[in-house]
Structure formats: structure tokens, C-alpha cells
């Protein structure tokens, strides 16, 4: 594509890769870190594969000061020196680019942003379409008919999201010139661009959509209705225009665009090969040889040493006719395992299959184009257009495949199987026998790893054969074909590892079957009533305004409560409250500090309440209505099976597990979650004090076990022991304190933490903990034995054998070691609770299907399950849910109690 130019912001992409993959700890045999290099290279190769650019350059910053430093000395002063493990990888990346033949540019005294801006404008003026590849929103000011921004994204199905003039207008309601004013108002804490204090993105957009420009805004400042906003803008006048100078990209940098400046060169294969060998990047070597034609030819040159690894010739067959499809089915019937991958259009519950890749053995992979209204099943071979087929009709394909897949062998194997199950739900209610999921197998083996396909392959298949397709595949489908082949080897390796570590049953009986349950819950979604949230929004904003005025009255001045810096100045310099914690940028005003101050200073309590309202507004009340799917009228969260280290599920887009459980405001928000259809209700089933019951069972403590067997209120029983009073004399305050102790001990709570929570001295807190262990000696024994086991084996286990590893539990750093010990104490308890509810979900889902009930499981929040139930099914479902939850994972003689509530909304049911 000689009419296109791609300019990559090198440091922006490298920082993104660094933070995304830091936890993986990928490194070379020499000990050099490689994770950021690996991530950057994959982003680059994704671009080369999808865009196939002829003209491309990567632009870097230099350490030299720029005109912005001269204009504003504090510019970027808050930026940390790049970590040592990033600095060395910057050089790796530059060496990689040079060897790959990708031009790179840097000019001392000029930021990469200005170099890209200059080149982009010059190239656009010469008639090129320019793509600026960066995570930085500053580049939106360059958008034009010939300049586009590509931003890396983690969204499923695409590596980059495209921003052009139309998207800027539709999503932001701004022109590119207004973007500069927007950035000037909101500032940039990363680069220490001040902006106007207290003006966030939403407010800035509203102001510019109304006034048009910074000049017009300040000319008509007195027309603003909100006095506090008017005052903030007036105070920030100088910073606004200063910030505009800092954020405006220069287009006059000393660099001149020409096609030759950005033209890709032939790779230096020897240099590239040596670099990849030194960094042990075998997976990257495979990808490079597959998708860069020049490099592939050079790597296969007989003048070079033969590659160390074996090579597998793979037959890729693109299925284009009904006859070819039938032949494929015949081949699949004789296989024991069938690895698969998919390509989809759309995302999550709106995803539609576009390609289906199937491999019965490593030497053979089929690519089947599909679409909802495909016609290939009716066509002859000569009517097929190789480039862009409309595909076979998805329903027709599934009619042919499902009889085979529903009666294994062959058994399916994939990576992140839930994507396939969601795409299938548009077409069939059929439930596939649990496929082997390599993502979940990786998670079971070590939950603290990263589990993307590339990283799992890098870790578990360092010496797998390279892949050579017999016929050159379309570059758009080649990576997925390769994935499908590699899944055979990955499954074999991971299955062996699962057996060796006694984790096979955990994967096969819990994690793999749960995928079907979660896919259906995501598909079902949950209904909300936007009118309730709208009314709450009005009420909460009024309450927030009232709190703001009370805070101003306590402070004796107006200030930006949302600014940590201004808040710290008011609390610790003006009001002289005791500063409890200091950070690199000043005194901390985080929730722990404010909570401690709130016991003695009313202003701190008011600020906490103000912040809580702000979080509820931004996270739920304003956001949830925007997430209603227009097709279903419901919200569809995503459940993440690999999102925690303990085995618990997490949810995202939106995170429904963080909705407050207690307190009036949490209840008000839960009222907005409703049963959508007439004659249906919500049923909530919640394990009662399940982690304490698990602690009683695992510790074998006689007193704790006896209290549960007798049906006592465990917190009241603990309070009676700690405060040495009869059970009937326990006050609510005593019970509250005992509850903090009960749950805190499981999380490794120390005297200092308990003292803070109960408002006691450290000595008093230590005494309470000693009393607790005297009352429950089995718990002390459990803690000591668990820590000793973690030190000896390096891991702890749940009742179902789920492991969590603690490599830092023998650290010489006392703080690091103590944190690992606290986590090790809790992991078996919390992990067992997670295993229990997962087993219950699988059993309930199975029985709902077997008994052909309409009831839907729609939400899981820690120890609670929420169902949408026809009223006629209530007696059956209530008994079914209670039975399966109580028997999911027996705890010997410790009774498992399930509390069930029913209502028309979540609050009533809870």
C-alpha cells in the first residue's frame, strides 16, 4: 500500500507493552527481561500483518530537553526515570527494528509526538493517507481527511481501534482544533501539564461543545451557572493557556518527509536471528518467518545454518464447496482431538462467526468461511471468489458439525473456549461437551501467570517445531491457522503438567465445565430500570452539592475537593490535621488516611461520603444505562475465569461484583436490577459465613466447629469470648468488633491493622488477638502450619487441590515476606469458597437443563447467586438451588447454610 504511511509512537507502544506484560516476567537465559520487547514486537507484527505497509517508521523520544521544558520547567518533572528492566528493553526494541528493516527516527530536542506531527502533515500534503499508531489522545488534534489515529486495544477481535474525523465528531462532539483546548483544560498528570484543577474530561467536553473554544469560554465565563466551576476556571486561566502551549503538537520539527525515509528495508537476517536466539524468542521467530516474506526467504536460504528446531509441513485447506465440506467431515470423524480457533465480527454477545478453523491433527488444518446469510453451501467451486467469500451459512455449518461434536470423540480443544460458545448461541441451544481450554489449563497450573495464547506458548512450547504451510495462506487467516495447529502440542503439554501436579480433576471437573455456565450467564444478561438510576442520579448530585458546601464550611474556604493536592493543602497545611502518610508527590489523602482521620475530624468523614457518592455516580448510576444492549435490553457483563489468583471469578464491562452490598446507598442501586418480564421474580441465594465455616473445617478447631454445629451466631459467640460476657449480653458494638476480628484473622490481620479498624491501641489489639487464639487454638495452628507448608512447598492448596504459589514467602525483605504470609493464610479459605460456588453453579445449571426449567442464572457475586425465575417455578427452583449449593462441597459435620430471598428487584431478593 504505497499510498499509505504508518508512523508509530515508539515509547507509547513500548510503555503499553511493559505494563501489560510486566507480571509475566519473561526473560532470556541470560536473565535479561524480554516481556516488553515481546509485547512491542507482537503489536508491530499485528500491524504489519493487518495493514501490510510499505512505508512505516517508528519514532522515539530522546533524553534531551525540548522547547516545552524551556517554556515550563516542571514539564514531565513528575515522570519517573524509566525502570531498569525497561531501559534495557528499549535498546532491544531498537535493535529489533534495525534488524527487521523498519526505519526508526529520533531528533535530539524534539519529542516523538512533534516529529510524527510534522511528518504526518507533510505526507498528507503530498497526498498520502497517514496512520499515527499510538496510545496517546494528543494525536486527535491532527485528525483530518488524510490523517487517522490507530490506538492499541485489548478488545476481542481487533488489535487497533481507528479514530478519524467522523469518530471524533460522533464520540467527543469536537473538531481537531478543539482537542487542543480540551487537553489544555483537563491537563495531563503523566507529563505534569497542569490544566485547570477540578475540570475533568466530561466537564471539558461539555464546555467546548457549548462555547467552542478556550477564548470564547473565558470571554463568557460569567454566563456559567455553577459558581464553583466558574471560580475554578477563573483561578486556572493562566494554567489553561499555558497548558495549551504545552499540548499543541508542533508541525515544524527539523525533519522532512519522503517515501524513502519510511520505506521498509530487507531484514538483516543474521542480525535478527542472533538477537532472537540471544533473547530466546522462539515464538517470535516463528511469527516473523511466517508473515514477513523477505525474512522467510532469507531464513530458508541454504547459505545459512539450518534452524535448530524441526519443521512441520502443514496442509491448509480452505473449504469452499459442499463437497469439500463433506470430505472435511469425513476426516474429522476419525480424529480423537479437534483443535479449533475462530474469527468473529462484533464482540461479546453480539459476536458473529466469520471463520472457523479446525485441525484434526497437527499436519492438517481446515479454514471454513461462515456468515449468518452465507450461500456457499449452494454454490459450485467456480463461483467461489478466493479473496472475500461470503461463506457458508452458519446454521448450515452447525447442522453438519454438531452431530459430530455432541458425541465425542473427537473432543474439542481451544484457547478461551467461551468466545466460541457465545458465538454459537446466536444459532443453537446445544451444549457442547466440555472442551479442553488451554487458557484455563494455564490458569490452573499457575493462577499468577498471564494466560494469553502467545505467552502460554512462549512458556510451555519453547522448542516446538516451526510451521511451514504447504500452500501460502492468506495473511489475514495465517496466524489463526497457526494457533489451531499449535493447540495440539499445547494441549498435550498442559495435560501432562496437569496430571503431574494432581490438577487434572480441578480443570476437568470445575474449570472446563464452568465455561458453558458462564457463557450462558453472559448471554442471559440482567435487566435494569434506567428510571430508578436517573432519579438516584438527581438525588445523589443534590446530596453531593450539599456535602460540598458543608466541606467548604468546615475548611473555611472553597477548593477542588477532587484534587488530592488541593485537599492535602487544606487538610494538612490550613487546618493542620495530622498527616498520616506521605507519598512521592506529597501527603496522602487516600481512603485509609481519611478513615483514620474521620474518627476525630468531621471534615474527613464528609469527604469520604462525598467521594463515595462521586464513585457511585460515575461507576454505576451514569454508566450502567449506557451499557444496556439495544438488541436485548439487558446488561451483559463478562465473567473472567483467569482474573484472580485465588480462583474467584471477577467481572468486567461492567464490574457487577463491586456494587456495594451493605448500606442504604448500595441497596438503592440494587433496586435498579429487576426481573424484566411480567410474572417473573429474582431469587438470591447466598452462602452464610462460608469462609468461616471453611476455616472451622480446615483448622479442625473444636470451639469454632461447635458454635456452627449448635447454630450460634458466630460473631456473637466470638464477642462473648473476647469480652468475657454471656452470649445474651453481647451488644451490637461488641458483635461488630468480633466480626472484624473473625474475618480479619483469615486475612492475616496484624495488631496494627486491627487497632486501626477498632480504634484501639496496638497493645489492646494485640491482647484481643491473643484472646482470640486462646478461644480458637486450632486457628492459630492452621495459620502456623499453612505458613510452614508454603515455605516448604512453595504453594498452598484448597480442598479441591487448587494451588497458589508464593515465591516471595522466603524473601529476605520482611515486608514482602509478611505480605506473602498473609496471602498464603487466606488463599486456601477463599479458594475453597470459590471452588464450592463453582461446583454449585455447574450442578444447578445441569439440573435446570435436565428438568427443562425456564429459570435463568444471571449473576454471581462472590458467595451469592442471582436467578430470574418464573413465579410458577419458584418452589421447585428454591429447593433445587438450596440442595445443590449445600451439597456442592461438603464440610464434614460443619453445616452449610444457604440464605434465600425473593423479590421483584435485587434489593428485595437480597
Q: Where in the chain is the domain with CATH 1.20.1060.10?
A: 527-633
Return the SS3 of 788: helix
pLDDT, residue 382, reads 44
Q: Find the range with the poorest average confidence among 227-241, 351-365, 409-423.
A: 227-241
In the CATH scheme, what architecture does the domain 309-493 have?
A: 2-Layer Sandwich (3.30)
pLDDT, residue 413, reads 98
Greater confidence (473 vs 10) lies with 10
**For 328-356, what is each residue's pLDDT tens digit?**
999 999 999 999 999 999 889 999 999 99
pLDDT, residue 302, reads 42
Q: What is the DSSP letter of 613?
A: H
Assess whether pLDDT exceeds 80 at residue 290: no
Which residue from 8, 57, 3, 62 is spatially nearest to 261, judged by alpha carbons?
57
Q: What confidence tier does 294 reach under pLDDT thresholds 50, 70, 90? A: low
Q: Which CATH superfamily is domain 696-828 in?
A: 5' to 3' exonuclease, C-terminal subdomain (1.10.150.20)
Q: What confidence tier does 305 reach under pLDDT thresholds 50, 70, 90? A: very low
**For 616-660, what is each residue's pLDDT tens digit?**
998 899 999 999 999 999 999 999 999 899 999 999 989 998 887
Q: Where in the chain is the domain with CATH 1.10.150.20?
A: 696-828
Question: CA 165 from chain center: how many Å?
Answer: 29
* Contact of 632 with 526, CB cutoff 8 Å: no
pLDDT, residue 88, reads 83
Assess whether pLDDT exceeds 80 at residue 8: yes
pLDDT, residue 306, reads 37
pLDDT, residue 584, reads 65
Enumerate residues 6+ apart whose C-beta is below 8 A from 650: 639, 640, 643, 644, 657
Question: CA 631 from chain center: how many Å?
Answer: 25
Torsion sign across C-alpha atoms 522, 523, 529, 533: positive
Across 194-211, average pLDDT: 89
Enumerate residues 6+ apart whose C-beta is below 8 A from 230: 221, 222, 224
What the block records as the C-alpha cell of 689 is 459465613
Residue 273 vs residues 40, 307, 433, 455: alpha-carbon distances, Å: 17, 10, 43, 20
Greater confidence (454 vs 280) lies with 454
Assess whether pLDDT exceeds 90 at residue 834: yes
Taking domain 527-633, whether its CATH number is 1.20.1060.10 is answered by yes
pLDDT, residue 386, reads 44
pLDDT, residue 814, reads 84
**For 377-402, what is each residue's pLDDT tens digit?**
876 544 344 444 579 999 999 999 99
Task: Estimate the share of the chain in helix, then strand, then coil, as percent rounded to the nearest 5.
Answer: 55, 15, 30
Which residue from 487, 488, 481, 497 is spatially nearest to 441, judged by alpha carbons?
497
Q: What confidence tier does 692 reach under pLDDT thresholds 50, 70, 90? A: very high
In angstroms, the first-to-last Cα distance of the chain is 59
**For 768-823, what is each residue's pLDDT tens digit?**
999 999 999 999 999 999 999 999 999 999 999 999 999 889 888 888 898 899 99
Q: What confidence tier does 277 reach under pLDDT thresholds 50, 70, 90? A: confident
Assess whether pLDDT exceeds 90 at residue 893: yes
What the block records as the C-alpha cell of 93 is 526494541
Cβ count near 236 (within 10 Å): 22
Distance CA 350, CA 432 (A): 20
pLDDT, residue 296, reads 55
Tell if the pTM clears 0.85, that is, is over it. no
Cβ count near 330 (within 10 Å): 9
Cβ count near 98 (within 10 Å): 17
Residue with cell 470459590: 834
Enumerate residues 6+ apart whose C-beta is below 8 A from 747: 822, 825, 826
**For 846-892, what is each residue's pLDDT tens digit?**
999 999 999 999 999 999 999 999 999 999 999 999 999 999 999 99
**For 79-136, what is each residue's pLDDT tens digit?**
555 666 788 899 899 999 998 999 999 988 889 999 999 999 999 999 999 999 998 8
Alpha helices in 501-645 (DSSP H): 504-506, 512-524, 530-555, 564-568, 591-598, 602-616
Q: What is the percentage of the chain residues whose pLDDT exceeds 70? A: 93
Distance CA 756, CA 751 (A): 9
Q: Where in the chain is the domain with CATH 3.40.50.1010?
A: 4-262
Which residue from 674, 671, 685, 541 is spatially nearest to 616, judged by alpha carbons?
541
Distance CA 344, CA 354 (A): 5
Return the SS3 of 103: coil
Exposure on the CB side of residue 594, measured as CA atoms within 13 A: 19
Q: Which of 245-249, 445-449, 873-877 tops mean pLDDT?
A: 873-877
Q: Give the residues across from 356 on adjacent strands.
A: 342, 368
Cβ count near 780 (within 10 Å): 17
pLDDT, residue 2, reads 66
Q: What is the DSSP letter of 256?
A: -
Q: Find the range with the poorest average confidence among 30-34, 239-243, 271-275.
A: 30-34
Assess whether pLDDT exceeds 50 at residue 78: no
| Mean pLDDT over each residue of the chain, to the nearest integer | 89
Query: Under CATH, which number does the domain 4-262 receive?
Result: 3.40.50.1010
Q: Where in the chain is the domain with CATH 3.30.420.10?
A: 309-493
- The continuous run of DSSP H or E covering 123 comes out as helix 112-125
Amino acid at each position: 500500500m504505497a499510498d499509505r504511511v504508518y508512523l508509530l509512537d515508539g515509547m507509547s507502544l513500548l510503555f503499553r507493552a511493559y505494563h501489560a506484560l510486566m507480571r509475566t516476567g519473561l526473560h532470556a537465559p541470560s536473565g535479561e527481561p524480554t516481556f516488553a520487547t515481546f509485547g512491542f514486537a507482537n503489536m508491530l507484527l499485528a500491524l504489519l500483518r493487518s495493514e501490510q505497509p510499505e512505508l512505516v517508521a517508528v519514532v522515539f523520544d530522546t533524553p534531551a530537553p525540548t522547547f516545552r521544558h524551556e517554556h515550563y520547567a516542571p514539564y514531565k518533572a513528575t515522570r519517573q526515570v524509566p525502570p531498569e528492566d525497561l531501559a534495557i528493553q528499549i535498546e532491544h526494541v531498537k535493535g529489533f527494528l534495525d534488524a527487521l528493516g523498519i526505519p526508526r527516527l529520533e531528533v535530539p530536542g524534539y519529542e516523538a509526538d512533534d516529529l510524527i506531527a510534522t511528518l504526518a502533515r507533510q505526507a498528507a500534503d503530498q497526498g498520502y493517507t497517514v496512520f499515527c499508531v499510538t496510545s496517546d489522545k494528543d494525536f486527535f488534534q491532527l485528525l483530518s481527511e488524510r490523517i487517522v489515529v490507530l490506538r492499541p486495544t485489548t478488545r476481542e477481535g481487533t488489535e487497533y481501534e481507528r479514530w478519524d474525523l467522523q469518530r471524533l465528531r460522533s464520540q467527543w462532539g469536537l473538531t481537531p482544533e478543539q482537542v487542543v483546548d480540551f487537553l489544555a483544560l483537563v491537563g495531563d498528570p503523566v507529563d505534569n501539564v497542569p490544566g485547570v484543577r477540578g475540570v475533568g474530561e466530561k466537564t471539558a467536553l461539555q464546555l467546548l461543545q457549548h462555547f467552542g473554544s478556550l477564548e470564547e469560554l473565558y470571554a463568557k465565563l460569567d454566563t456559567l451557572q455553577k459558581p464553583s466551576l466558574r471560580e475554578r476556571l477563573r483561578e486556572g486561566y493562566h494554567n489553561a493557556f499555558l497548558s495549551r502551549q504545552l499540548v499543541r503538537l508542533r508541525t515544524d520539527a527539523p525533519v522532512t518527509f519522503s517515501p524513502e525515509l519510511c520505506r521498509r528495508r530487507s531484514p538483516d537476517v543474521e542480525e535478527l536471528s542472533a538477537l532472537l536466539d540471544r533473547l530466546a524468542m522462539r515464538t517470535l521467530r516463528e511469527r516473523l518467518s511466517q508473515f514477513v516474506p523477505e525474512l522467510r526467504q532469507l531464513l530458508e536460504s541454504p547459505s545459512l545454518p539450518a534452524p535448530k528446531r524441526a519443521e512441520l509441513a502443514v496442509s491448509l485447506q480452505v473449504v469452499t464447496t459442499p463437497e469439500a465440506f463433506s470430505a472435511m467431515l469425513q476426516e474429522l470423524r476419525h480424529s480423537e482431538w479437534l483443535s479449533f480457533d475462530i474469527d468473529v465480527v462484533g464482540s461479546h454477545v453480539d459476536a458473529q462467526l466469520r471463520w472457523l478453523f479446525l485441525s484434526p491433527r497437527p499436519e492438517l488444518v481446515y479454514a471454513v468461511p461462515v456468515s449468518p446469510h452465507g450461500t456457499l453451501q449452494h454454490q459450485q467451486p467456480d463461483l467461489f471468489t478466493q479473496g472475500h467469500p461470503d461463506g457458508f451459512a452458519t446454521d448450515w455449518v452447525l447442522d453438519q458439525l454438531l452431530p459430530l461434536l455432541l458425541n465425542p470423540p473427537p473432543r474439542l480443544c481451544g484457547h478461551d473456549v467461551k468466545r466460541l460458545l457465545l458465538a454459537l448461541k446466536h444459532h443453537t441451544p446445544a451444549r457442547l461437551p466440555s472442551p479442553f481450554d488451554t487458557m484455563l489449563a494455564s490458569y490452573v497450573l499457575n493462577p499468577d501467570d498471564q494466560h494469553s495464547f502467545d505467552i502460554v506458548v512462549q512458556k510451555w512450547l519453547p522448542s516446538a517445531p516451526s510451521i511451514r504451510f504447504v500452500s501460502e495462506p492468506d495473511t489475514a487467516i495465517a496466524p489463526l491457522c497457526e494457533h489451531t495447529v499449535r493447540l495440539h502440542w499445547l494441549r498435550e503439554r498442559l495435560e501432562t503438567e496437569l496430571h503431574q501436579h494432581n490438577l487434572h480433576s480441578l480443570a476437568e471437573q470445575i474449570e472446563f465445565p464452568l465455561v458453558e455456565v458462564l457463557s450462558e450467564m453472559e448471554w442471559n444478561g440482567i435487566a435494569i430500570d434506567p428510571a430508578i438510576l436517573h432519579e438516584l442520579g438527581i438525588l445523589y448530585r443534590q446530596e453531593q452539592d450539599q456535602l460540598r458546601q458543608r466541606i467548604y464550611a468546615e475548611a473555611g474556604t472553597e477548593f477542588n475537593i477532587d484534587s488530592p493536592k488541593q485537599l492535602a493543602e487544606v487538610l494538612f497545611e490550613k487546618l493542620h490535621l495530622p498527616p498520616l502518610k506521605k507519598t512521592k508527590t506529597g501527603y496522602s489523602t487516600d481512603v485509609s488516611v481519611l478513615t483514620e482521620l474521620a474518627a476525630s475530624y468531621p471534615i474527613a468523614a464528609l469527604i469520604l461520603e462525598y467521594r463515595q457518592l462521586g464513585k457511585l455516580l460515575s461507576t454505576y448510576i451514569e454508566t450502567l444505562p449506557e451499557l444496556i444492549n439495544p438488541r436485548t435490553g439487558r446488561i451483559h457483563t463478562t465473567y473472567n475465569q483467569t482474573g484472580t489468583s485465588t480462583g474467584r471469578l471477577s467481572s468486567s464491562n461492567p464490574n457487577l461484583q463491586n456494587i456495594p452490598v451493605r448500606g442504604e446507598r448500595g441497596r438503592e442501586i440494587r433496586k435498579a436490577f429487576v426481573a424484566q418480564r411480567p410474572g417473573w421474580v429474582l431469587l438470591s441465594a447466598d452462602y452464610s459465613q462460608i469462609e468461616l465455616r471453611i476455616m472451622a473445617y480446615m483448622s479442625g478447631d473444636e470451639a469454632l466447629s461447635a458454635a456452627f454445629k449448635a447454630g450460634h451466631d458466630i460473631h456473637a459467640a466470638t464477642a462473648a469470648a473476647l469480652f468475657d460476657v454471656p452470649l445474651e449480653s453481647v451488644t451490637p458494638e461488641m458483635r461488630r468488633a468480633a466480626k472484624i476480628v473473625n474475618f480479619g484473622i483469615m486475612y492475616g490481620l496484624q495488631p496494627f491493622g486491627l487497632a486501626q479498624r477498632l480504634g484501639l491501641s496496638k497493645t489492646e489489639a494485640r491482647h484481643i488477638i491473643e484472646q482470640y487464639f486462646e478461644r480458637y487454638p486450632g486457628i492459630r495452628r492452621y495459620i502456623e502450619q499453612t505458613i510452614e507448608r508454603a515455605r516448604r512447598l512453595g504453594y498452598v492448596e484448597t480442598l479441591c487441590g487448587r494451588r497458589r504459589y508464593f515465591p516471595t514467602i522466603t524473601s529476605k525483605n520482611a515486608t514482602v515476606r509478611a505480605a506473602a504470609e498473609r496471602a498464603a493464610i487466606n488463599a486456601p479459605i477463599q479458594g475453597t469458597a470459590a471452588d464450592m460456588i463453582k461446583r454449585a453453579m455447574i450442578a444447578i445449571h445441569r439440573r435446570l437443563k435436565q428438568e427443562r426449567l425456564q429459570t435463568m442464572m444471571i449473576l454471581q457475586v462472590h458467595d451469592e447467586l442471582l436467578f430470574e425465575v418464573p413465579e410458577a417455578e419458584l418452589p421447585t427452583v428454591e429447593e433445587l438451588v438450596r440442595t445443590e449449593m449445600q451439597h456442592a462441597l461438603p464440610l464434614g459435620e460443619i453445616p452449610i447454610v444457604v440464605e434465600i430471598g425473593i423479590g421483584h428487584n435485587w434489593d428485595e431478593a437480597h
